[in-house]
């Protein structure tokens, strides 16, 4: 297994360390402004598909200069050989964590894990990024799974199953709703990352997420990291909003 323990899964994670801010914007300048504004308030930044498609790998150069941790939310999902190649390319950048879809299957995840393990690091100081798998998107609920995807298993069984599949394939953790975090912990144990999006602080509205919980509840259920976007980015003061989330994590 690719070990993420050295720099991501520390026993003494502070509330600030646990907060990942999603850079859900569409241009480089705004992303850079937010990184500079929030880098002393949060533990990591998430670069997702909208921003990466707009700006490309130059984002990783910017975050490296800023000295911040990065989660690349690329959600790779393709044939094993293609995903392995994408993973080797991802390792060349100074990122701390990236992901793929567990629904791509065990062979795809195994190929990805091997690629990360064998890939050349950008320099001697670099640490191998943690590789994690998306279980079920937090925008999807039980009805969507059953009616749109014809998945007969309920969420409470499907999510832990996918987490176990990812663990068996050699991955470091999963992305999942905090509502299933305790079930995942029971299935895979403590030495496995759980990153939870769909988090809404007590002061924020739910937007388009279906399966959401508060920051404190997420950690209590077994999450290691939480991802927060709009409640911070859209706040009148993103710094104050980030601090309020950290305060909730500390409770």
- Asked whether residue 79 is assigned to any structural domain, the reply reads yes
pLDDT of 30-43, one tens digit each?
999 999 999 999 99
Domain-embedded: residue 131:
yes
Contact of 201 with 248, CB cutoff 8 Å? yes
Q: Which domain holds residue 73?
A: 19-243
177 lies in a domain? yes
10 domain residue, yes or no: no
Note whether residue 147 is domain-resident. Answer: yes
| Residue 137, domain member (yes or no) | yes
Residue 75 known to be catalytic: yes
Strand-pair category, 70-76 with 44-47: parallel
* Residue 35 and residue 62 in contact, taking contact as beta carbons nearer than 8 Å: yes
Number of domains in the chain: 1
Residue 251 lies in a domain: no
CATH number of the domain bearing residue 56:
3.20.20.70
- Residues 177-200 have pLDDT tens digits of 999 999 999 999 999 999 999 898
Residue 199: C-alpha distances to residues 36, 41, 126, 219, 224 (Å): 23, 17, 30, 11, 13
- Using the predicted structure, report yes or no on whether residue 5 has a pLDDT greater than 50: no
Residue tagged active-site, from 5, 46, 69, 75: 75
Structure pTM? 0.92
Asked, for residue 1, whether it belongs to a domain, the answer is no
d(CA 219, CA 201): 13
User: Quick one: residue 130, left, alpha or beta (phi over 0 = left, psi -120 to 50 = alpha)?
Assistant: beta
């Amino acid at each position: 297994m690719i070990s993420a323990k050295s720099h991501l899964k520390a026993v003494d994670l502070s509330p600030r360390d646990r907060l990942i801010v999603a850079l859900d914007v569409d241009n480089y300048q705004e992303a850079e402004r937010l990184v500079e504004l929030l880098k002393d308030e949060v533990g990591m930044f998430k670069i997702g598909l909208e921003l990466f498609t707009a700006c490309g790998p130059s984002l990783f150069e910017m975050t490296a200069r800023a000295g911040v941790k990065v989660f690349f939310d690329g959600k790779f999902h393709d044939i094993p050989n293609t995903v392995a190649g994408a993973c080797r390319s991802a390792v060349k950048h100074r990122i701390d964590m990236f992901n793929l879809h567990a629904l791509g299957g065990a062979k795809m995840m195994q190929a990805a894990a091997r690629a990360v393990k064998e890939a050349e690091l950008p320099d001697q100081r670099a640490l191998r990024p943690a590789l994690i798998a998306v279980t079920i998107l937090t925008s999807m609920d039980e009805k969507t799974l059953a009616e749109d995807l014809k998945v007969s298993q309920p969420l409470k069984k499907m999510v832990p199953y996918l987490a176990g599949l990812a663990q068996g394939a050699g991955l470091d953790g999963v992305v999942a709703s905090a509502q299933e975090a305790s079930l995942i912990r029971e299935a895979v144990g403590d030495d496995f990352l759980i990153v939870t999006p769909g988090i809404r602080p007590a002061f924020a509205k739910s937007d388009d997420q279906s399966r959401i919980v508060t920051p404190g509840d997420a950690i209590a259920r077994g999450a290691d990291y939480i991802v927060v976007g709009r409640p911070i980015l859209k706040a009148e003061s993103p710094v104050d909003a980030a601090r309020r989330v950290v305060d909730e994590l500390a409770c």
